[in-house]
């Protein structure tokens, strides 16, 4: 899932031709937030509930926006970026939930 988010982030210019400037402006935020959720999920202890994973991931991406890329990257301020970050985390949360349920339903019951 991290790879999917990274590929979407790197290909946002390609989507610009089909979706328009909206993709170029906000797809990066959505994709990066999606990837950060799964980075946090993989780095966190196994017992960390997915709600807390979402909260930590959202805090990371929103602080990134607030600090202009942690002072390392140049970031253009746009308040809609905060919404795009929330949507990326929400999408990742839903994918995590659905994929976990699918894996559990396909596993043999003990």
Q: What are the residue ranges in the chain where pLDDT is below 70?
A: 9-24, 70-71, 73-75, 109-110
Burial of 36 (0-12, 13-18, 19+ CB in 10 A): buried
- What is residue 14's predicted lDDT score, i.e. its pLDDT? 61
Measured CA to CA, the distance from residue 35 to residue 92 in angstroms comes to 8
Measured CA to CA, the distance from residue 107 to residue 100 in angstroms comes to 11
With beta carbons less than 8 A apart as the criterion, state whether 57 and 29 touch: no
């Amino acid at each position: 899932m991290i790879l999917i988010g990274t590929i979407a982030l790197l290909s946002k210019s390609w989507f610009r031709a089909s979706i328009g400037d909206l993709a170029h402006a906000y797809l990066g935020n959505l994709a990066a937030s999606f990837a950060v959720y799964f980075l946090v999920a993989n780095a966190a202890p196994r017992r960390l509930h997915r709600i807390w994973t979402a909260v930590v991931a959202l805090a990371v991406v929103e602080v990134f926006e607030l600090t202009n890329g942690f002072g390392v990257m140049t970031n253009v301020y746009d308040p809609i970026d905060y919404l795009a970050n929330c949507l990326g985390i929400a999408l990742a949360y839903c994918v995590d939930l659905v994929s976990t349920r699918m894996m559990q339903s396909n596993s043999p019951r003990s």
